[in-house]
Amino acid sequence: MTIIEMAREAGFITDGHWAKEFEAFAKLVAAKEREIYDHDTRVLMDALWKACGDDEEVVNATIESQGTLIRGEQA
């Protein structure tokens, strides 16, 4: 569900009222969230690589042992 769809469901956007403004705001929020997510992912992956002694097989096994990545399913 997109941010716009969530806003419509929550009643913030009705019949196009505020749609353009809210869509611009939603894009800014989404971009910032992606920036934060990417940063945190890099930090955590760097820590995982160090903890696993830079062994790719161990890193992959460790990730797989924790479950399926949502981002990987959406790609």
Q: How many domains does the chain have?
A: 1
Checking if the pLDDT of 75 tops 50, the result is no
**Encoded tokens for 62:** 């460790």
Beta bridge partners of 14: 17
What are the residues whose beta carbons fall under 8 Å from the beta carbon of 62, sequence distance 6 or more?
Answer: 48, 52
Averaged over 14-24, what is the pLDDT?
77
pLDDT digits (tens, 9 = 90+) for 32-60: 999 999 999 999 999 999 999 999 999 99
Q: How far apart are CA 66 and CA 2, in angstroms?
A: 27
Which domain covers residue 49, as residue numbers? 3-74
Checking if the pLDDT of 30 tops 80, the result is yes
Q: How far apart are CA 57 and CA 52, in angstroms?
A: 9
Q: Kindly report the CA angle at 29 between 39 and 73, in degrees rounded to 5? A: 60
